[in-house]
Structure 1
Amino acid sequence: MTLTTILAPTLEPVDPARDAADVQAWLAAAPFWEMTDRTPDQVRAYLASVVSDPAQSGWLGRVDGEPAFYVETYAPASLIPADAFDARPGDLGMHLLVAPPAADPVPGFTSAVMAAVMRHCFAQGVDRVVVEPDARNTAILAKNAAAGFRVLGEIDLVTEGHAKRAALSVCSRDDFAASPLGGGEDPFPHLRPDLAEAAHRHLVAKALSELSHERLLAPEPAADLGDGWHRLTAGASTYVFRARVLPLEHWLLDAESIRREGARTHLDVLELVVELQDVLGIPDALLSTYLEELASTLAGAAAKRHGAAATSADLLDASFQEVEAAMTEGHPGFLANNGRIGFSLSDYRAYAPETGARTRLVWVAAAREHAHLALGEGLDERSHLEAALTPDERRVFAERLADRGHDPDGFHFLPVHPWQAEHRLPITFAADVARGDLVPLGRTADEYQPQQSIRTFFNRTRPGAPYVKVALAIQNMGFLRGLSPQYMRDTPAINDWVARLVARDRGFADAGFRVLRERAAVGYTGDVYHATRATNPHRKMLAALWRESPVTLLAEGERLVTMASLLHRDHEGSAYATALVRASGLAPSDWVRAYLRAYLRPLVHALLAHDLAFMPHGENLILVLTDHAVSGAFMKDIGEEVAVLGARALPPGIDRIVHETPGREKALAIFTDVFDGVLRHLSGILDADGVLPADAFWRLVAECLDGYEAEHPDGALGLSGDVDLRAQAFAHSCLNRLQLRNTLQMVDIANQSESLLYAGEMPNPVARV
């Protein structure tokens, strides 16, 4: 039991009439507050001014029910000049006044009060506490240090008409948790043994399932253990588990059945990978990097379980962004799918999609001679900026440029991820900032929520405003998550071309299929990294695009969810897809038919009628639900991931998306990206939950293809006549093999098809009989 627990300090809103006498007596003995000569009436008026001020609050503290201290909390920007401190959203200022000790002071009394005050501040949802005590007040400086405060520097500050030299200091949640006074709290509450054990079991099950699917592992039947049991030897360990193998060699594995036999019996996904290194072919030089991505995935899985609240049933009535933040799995095929190397724990809490946290983007001005702004049809720079920024932001940014001696007309405005602004802008691009080609402008007023794609943000303040996608130089799932200024030049034009094609073809409209255009893009190329001979990741660190929001495109009774939600299981193991089917009141087969009509059919039509292939995984599709059934879909992330797979003349500048491909390889746009990447997992969920057997699911997929062929008898094999989606087998393209081969860069973006790895052929579950 701690001293804080024994003394049990409490805080309540200050009452000026009731508390003025006590506070006046304490101020009389506190010279550093510069209020020793105040009368009770003056103190009462002062407290009343604090209570009436929306930028601050006053709190009376009690110990054992008796008044013992006074606290003020305030918005730092209301007191500390902006040129002295860059206040962030989530900062809270604090002043503390402790009653003078009695004749027999209690040892540790002030420490207990300070700890209680800090917990009170953080309980208000803030990220950092800010203080600015008199630099001569060595006693309070020592107490602040014990609470985890870090001195940023000394500043001149005027408060209540008195000037002082203040020791400006901040304390984050993690700082406090690691401090002597905050040491009673676990700084990593998500890394509990029970949560880690559950995360390990889940990831071991996924490893055994997905690596067996990719034919890297070959579990053997264990008939001695009973029907459905399998055994796999991995180094000095043997793993036994129960599983069924569904179509597309989908291993539906019972995670609770997994046992590890040998000298070590606990389940540890990191140890499993080390045991399997030679089998998996992971290069020695990259093993530690892959393990770090996997360790980060493990930590994220534990954090998601620790913070989990919403069940799949709860999500039935949740908002679009509530569903977005509730996702726990990440990419369903990749094992190490939440690497995010570069993020700290506080970064995770601030920017990971599953936390649902809101943030404000940082903006910089980029000199026009070294930057470009590409705009879609019908959009000019003025209308773009009116959608991207509020009038106040545009005015303030222009004023800040002018105040620094720049002509605002000579710059483009570029949004930057807050992490990028802190870790890259002042260091990687220090020379550009110093010479004035990049000018930091500050944060926006609008709050944004990170999406499943982590570097894309949804505007929570103005939901109809465009999405913003920015560069983020962290290592995640086989790539540094940059954004190419070179690609940004053509992005709006590519989107316009695709949007016109989709809008003119009734086949898409009949399926309720639409695209979300990327309407504007900006990129900076004035840095030295663009002057090097060879391309490099540093060329992809300062660019952004704006994408249409689907919110304004909904009809009455429609709602939005990320398609990733169809593969989501909550912390209790319940599947969201199962909850939707049951809530819809439809027969499971009819629910799946509706989904396939909105998702599979338009993708098949795009490929066969137009040689057009998207990247249609879960986070790139936004589904439209009507009465819990899928009634439409929005395709997004067009500019970077769309491809024309046949010979076609496109306008100059966007012809980079043409990649002439033979028919068997074209078909992989459906076989790999849709059948294997999405439908395989959904069929497994519905089968496991007893909603719809996998064989019946794939019969519905065949029925969807039959329906399309019946309506398009002359186009069933595509424009080239050699795309057979009913072939007996197709090349088994494997994702984890790519990451295991090179976790730093899975594929060459400029030549993706040549980078792919295959594991023979996969029997087609919808092959013609």
Structure 2
Amino acid sequence: MINFDPVDIDRDLVTIHRWVRDPHAAFWMMQEATPQDVRRELTTLTTPPHRAFLGRLDGRPVALLATYDPASSPLDGVPELRPGDLGMHILIAPATGERVPGFTTEVFRDALALCFSDPTVARVVVEPDVRNEAVRRKNVQAGFEEVRPVELPDKTAIFSVCEKAAFQHAAAVDHLTPRNLDAAQRRLVAKAIGEYTHERLIAPQPLANGRWRLETAGSVYTFTAHRYALDHWVVEPATIRRESGGRRLPVDAQVLVAELAPALGVPDKVLPVYVEEVASTLAAASWTIARKRHTSASLASALTDPHAPVDKTYQLLEGAMTEGHPAFVANNGRIGFGVDDYARYAPEVAEPVRLHWVAVRRSHGVMTLGEQTDESAFYRTELGASALTGFRRRLEAHDLDPDDYFYLPVHPWQWQNKLAITLAPDVARRDVVDLGIGADHYVPQQSIRTFFNTTHPERHYVKTALSIQNMGFVRGLSPAYMRATPAINDWVAGLVRADPELRTCGFDVLREVAAAGYTGDAFHRHTGHGPHQKMLAALWRESPLDRVRPGEHLTTMAALLHRDRDGHSLAGALLRASGLCAEEWVRSYLTAYLRPLVHCLLAYNLAFMPHGENLILVLRDGVPQRVLIKDVGEEVAVMGDLPLPSAVERIRAYVPDPATRALAIHTDVLDGVLRFVAAILDADGALPEADFWRICRDVVTAHAADHPELAREAAEVDLLRPYFAHSCLNRLQLRNATEMVDITDQESSLLFAGEMPNPIARDDEGDALRPSRDESRR
């Protein structure tokens, strides 16, 4: 995104003087301008009603935007002018290297967004020289309508207007271009080939010089790929070639899935849904390719700046990520969102959102609170006295007693597209009362239905029900299932904070302190289990900001898997910024991440779902120091007979087989996260993969040496065993794209594909890269 700040003439004069004298700025007619000439022009451009802004990308000046009142310009007298028109000029900085495709489009879009952010502006008008075909094309692409030529004192101009609706319409799909789509297709096909091969659904055949061949029902793909431990494949997108009958064909992820459907085992009724999720994933990827221009170096710089506001850098990283779950191919389904919804609510767009609020009749709802959480005090802290007074007055206006209700945040999409229609009888009965839009602004997190409060960052995260399909589930929330959520979080947090080892590691829990939902609808009374019973619920989770010490920063762990548009990794950039050698940096990361998870498993048979979106890294100077884990209520399990309070008993999952318990590390950590980090650091030349896994093994063995009291458990679970069962994620989504796992019995839902060589196996067990023992994999 281009950030526009008011021009400072003294600061910006040299830069703008150089720009206007460049040949590409010929239509500004200042090729021979002196610095004094440019100063006079800038003085005019910054004198009201004129305004001038310098656009920056990652702090680098890239454009000049000037706005003016057309009635106070040479356009005065043009009969097509209207009240509410705003004039605009744009100058793009001269290219210092190869032009980045789509960059000028991005400048135009962000400049117009700034113009239309003024609610008094109804239209933006421009008057380029009729001979300036390049700018005229860009204007039309941005939503301008060319009205007619007009004669101005220094040129014949083409008077053009852009209404706000036309701009929004053009901006909604301006990322869907052949160039962006081809890049998105190649990335997704590369990921699909890699992950389907990893899950032993397909078997590319080797050619010469690192090339591979994959034959589908209708095409032949050849490509370059690199193989790593855990049968992890990194396919190079630019090398993919698709042919059929000797003809070269476009690379197409939807076609790949359709042609591989029999091999993938996709049921006929699931295939259209899955292919639609692939299309939505491509659309999201095209958007990020077009608009996400933060470099990994600039992000690492923000995360190592001791003076940068922690909440700002944290959300900068949260919105900058370009990859969803690293293993799932169709990972950005969002089926149910329209194009306008995407522009408002997608995490990568990072647009501020104000949540909708409703009141729920207590007799028809469920609200549970964590220990030492008082409802009245909680709402006062979370909403403020003014909002609470307003809510009470709305209820009283309906002749309702406010004490009969509790308050619930709702995703705006959910209210507009689901609740106001599907729960219409409940709204009419005043069992659910519309309270309107809240005052605070939030931004969506990578887990699309969770929001971070940017108006009051110290307030809680809010997680809402969202009845769209995304990555194998309709993303609702069950009030009945969440009834125990605060108690579960309190118990887990108490266990974690009482354990000396976990305190030393700095491992901590972001508790979900309140959960609420509505159960008074016909779906709860008269229908069975399903998404209709998960439409109206929410929970509140602690903010991580009060866990940060001076000089520290926060980022989602998923950021370690990020590569920018030029292919540079954020993990590599953080490592370089830290000043540490790669081995020290990795050891610090794994001590913060892997060691406490190993301890929880061995000491308590306690397992989390510790993938990148569920972990927040606390960094100092770019080095991971400790982790904060979240989403505990839905994704934690005690796999044994550890005594539990009755309210927490839901999380017990008896898993007598120690090898299955070990999958909490083998599958969820080594295969689910670390194989990607290891490959990135190896490909970047930062740390050989074998060294990465050696450090992992060192962390596990160091924990064992420090905890001889857990020797029996360590021997039984045996994290250093030579092989482990290969649990597959895409197989789950391919089997059932709308509910790939029964959340109440997740273990029975798992699908396996033989065994996987363990990359942290004991040295005396041989090379971890040896072939699998599963003879049926090919």
Common fold by TM > 0.5:
yes
1:630 is paired with a residue whose SS is: strand
In the TM superposition, residue 124 of structure 1 has moved relative to its aligned partner by 2.8
Matched, 1:238 2:220: yes
| 2:361 alignment partner in structure 1 | 367
Q: CA 1:430–1:606 in 2, change beyond 3 Å: closer, same or farther?
A: same
Larger Rg belongs to: 1
Residue deviations 1:710-762 (CA, integer Å, cap 9, x gap): 1112314538x621101110100000011111111111112111111000000
Alignment-derived partner of residue 201 in structure 1: 186
AA of the residue aligned to 2:343:
R
Q: What is the CA-CA distance between 1:488 and the residue it aligns to?
A: 1.9
Q: Is the 8 A contact 1:362 1:441 kept in 2?
A: yes
2:385: which partner in 1? 391
Q: Which residue of 2 aligns with 1:312?
A: 296
- Kindly report which structure 2 residues correspond to 1:541-560, keeping only aligned pairs within 5 A, or say none: 541-560=535-554
Give the secondary structure class of the aligned counterpart of 1:606.
helix
Distance in 1 (CA, whole Å) between partners of 2:534 and 2:455 is: 28
Letter of the 1:197 partner, please give it: D
Paired residues of 2:241 and 2:248 also in contact (CA < 8 A): no
Tell me the secondary structure at the aligned position of residue 427 of structure 1: helix
For 1:324 and 1:427, how far apart are their aligned partners in 2? 32
Secondary structure of residue in 2 paired with 1:690: coil
**Alignment match of 1:434 (pick from 402, 425, 428):** 428
Deviation readout 1:243-287 (Å, 9 max, x if unpaired): 221110011222222111224521111111111111111111111
Contact residue 116 and residue 164 of structure 2 kept, 8 A = no
1:287-366 to 2 correspondence within 5 Å?
Answer: 287-318=271-302, 319-366=313-360
8 Å CA contact 2:276, 2:333 repeated in 1:
yes
- TM-fit CA distance, 1:186: 6.6
Q: Match for 1:665 among 645, 651, 660? A: 660
Q: CA offsets, 1:100-126, max 9 Å, x none?
A: xxxxxxxxxxxxxxxxxx999754354
CA distance in 1, matches of 2:398, 2:644: 44
Q: 1:253 aligns with which of 215, 218, 235?
A: 235
Q: Does 1:690 align with 2:681?
A: no
Question: Any conservation in 2 of the 1:562–1:623 contact (CA below 8 Å)?
Answer: yes
CA distance in structure 1 between the partners assigned to 2:719 and 2:570 by the alignment: 29
Q: Larger deviation: 310-319 or 323-332?
A: 310-319
- Between the aligned partners of 1:650 and 1:463, the Cα distance in structure 2 is 34
Larger deviation, residues 57-66 vs 389-398: 57-66
Q: What is the distance in 1 between the residues matched to 2:380 and 2:300?
A: 35
Query: Structure 1 411/210 Cα, relative in aligned 2: closer, same or farther at 3 Å?
Result: same
Provide closer, same or farther for how the CA distance between residues 187 and 512 of structure 1 changes in structure 2, counting only shifts above 3 A. Answer: closer
Which residue, 398, 401, 408 being the options, matches 2:402?
408
What does 1:618-637 align with in structure 2 at a 5 Å threshold? 618-637=612-631
In 2: Cα distance, 1:472 partner to 1:210 partner? 28
- Offset of residue 128 of structure 1: 9.1
Tell me the secondary structure at the aligned position of residue 354 of structure 1.
coil
CA distance in 2 between partners of 1:505 and 1:172 (Å): 61
Q: Is the 8 A contact 1:203 1:298 kept in 2?
A: yes
Deviations 1:473-520 (A, max 9, x none): 000000000011012211111000001000100111111111101111
Matched, 1:530 2:524: yes
Distance in 2 (alpha carbons) for counterparts of 1:67 and 1:406: 58
Where 2:435 maps in the other structure, the secondary structure is strand
User: How far does the alpha carbon of each residue in 1:559-613 deviate from its partner, in whole angstroms, 9 at most, with x for none?
Assistant: 1011010000011111000001111111101100000000000000011001111
Q: Which amino acid aligns with 1:218?
A: A
Corresponding position of 1:483: 477
How far has the Cα of 1:344 moved from its partner?
1.0
Counterpart of 2:713 in structure 1 is: 718
The amino acid of 2:276's aligned partner reads: E
The correspondence for 1:192, drawn from 172, 177, 181, is: 177
Report the equivalent of 1:284: 268
Tell me the CA shift for residue 371 of structure 1: 1.2
User: In the TM superposition, what whole-angstrom CA distance separates every residue of 1:625-664 from its partner, at most 9, and x where no partner exists?
Assistant: 0111000110001111111011123111210100010211
**Residue 195 of structure 2 is aligned with which of 210, 234, 246?**
210
1:715 partner SS: helix
Question: What is the identity, as a one-letter code, of the residue corresponding to 1:368?
Answer: R
Deviation at 1:532, TM superposition (A): 2.2
Residue deviations 1:77-108 (CA, integer Å, cap 9, x gap): xxxxxxxxxxxxxxxxx999xxxxxxxxxxxx
> Counterpart of 2:422 in structure 1: which amino acid?
T
- In structure 2, the residue matched to 1:751 is 745
Shift of 1:15: 7.8
- Tell me by how many angstroms 1:175 deviates: 5.6
| Letter aligned with residue 682 of structure 1 | V
Structure 2: state its 5+ residue gaps: 1-26, 28-43, 50-66, 88-108, 123-142, 145-161, 303-312, 765-778
Give the C-alpha shift of residue 309 in structure 1: 1.9
State the distance in 1 between where 2:396 and 2:331 align.
45
1:706 aligns with 2:701: yes
Larger relative contact order (CA 8 Å, sep ≥ 6): 2
Structure 1: state its 5+ residue gaps: 6-10, 17-56, 74-93, 97-117, 132-146, 149-170, 179-184
- What is the alpha-carbon distance in structure 1 between the residues aligned to residue 167 and residue 227 of structure 2? 50
- Between the two proteins, the alignment pairs up a number of residues equal to 637
CA distance in 2, matches of 1:312, 1:700: 25
Give the partner amino acid of 1:201. Answer: R
Output the CA distance in 2 between the equivalents of 1:174 and 1:279: 46
Map Cα deviations across residues 118-152 of structure 1 (whole Å, 9 max, x no partner): 99975435499998xxxxxxxxxxxxxxx99xxxx
Tell me the amino acid that sits aligned with residue 206 of structure 1.
K
Tell me how far apart the structure 2 counterparts of residues 334 and 173 of structure 1 sit (CA, whole Å).
37
Give, in whole Å, the separation in 1 of the partners of 2:675 and 2:402.
53
How far apart, CA to CA, are the structure 2 residues paired with 1:446 and 1:216? Answer: 47
Aligned pair in 2 of structure 1 residues 205, 521: CA closer, same or farther (>3 Å)?
A: same
- The Cα shift of 1:174 comes to 5.8
Q: Could you tell me whether the CA contact under 8 Å between 2:217 and 2:259 is conserved in 1?
A: yes
Aligned AA (2:173): F
Q: 1:446–1:462: 8 Å Cα contact kept in structure 2?
A: yes
Does the 8 A contact of 2:506 with 2:592 survive in 1? yes
Query: Are the aligned partners of 1:122 and 1:173 in contact in 2 as well (CA < 8 Å)?
Result: no
| Structure 1: distance between partners of 2:48 and 2:521 | 57
Decide whether the 8 Å contact of 2:472 with 2:737 is kept in 1.
yes
Q: Does 1:760 align with 2:754?
A: yes
**Per-residue displacement from partner, 1:682-717 (whole Å, max 9, x unpaired)?**
001001111111111100101111101111123145
Question: Structure 1 vs Structure 2: percent identity of aligned residues?
Answer: 51
Q: Counterparts in 2 of 1:439-478, with a 5 A limit?
A: 439-478=433-472
d(CA) in 2 for partners of 1:125 and 1:618?
37
Match of 2:670 in 1: 675
What letter matches 1:250 in structure 2?
A: H
Q: What's the Cα RMSD here?
A: 2.8
Counterpart Cα distance in 1 of 2:613 and 2:730: 18
Q: Structure 2 vs 1, CA of residues 510 and 301 (structure 1 numbering), >3 Å: closer, same or farther?
A: same
Distance 2:68 2:564 in 1: 41
Q: Distance in 2 between matches of 1:683 and 1:621?
A: 18
Does 325-334 or 550-559 show the bigger shift?
550-559
8 Å contact kept, 1:231–1:239: yes
Shift of 1:558: 0.8
Shift of 1:384: 0.9
Matched, 1:653 2:647: yes
> Are positions 1:612 and 2:606 aligned together?
yes
What CA distance in whole angstroms lies between the structure 2 residues aligned with 1:242 and 1:120? 41
Alpha-carbon distance between aligned partners in 1 of 2:361 and 2:569, rounded to the nearest angstrom = 50
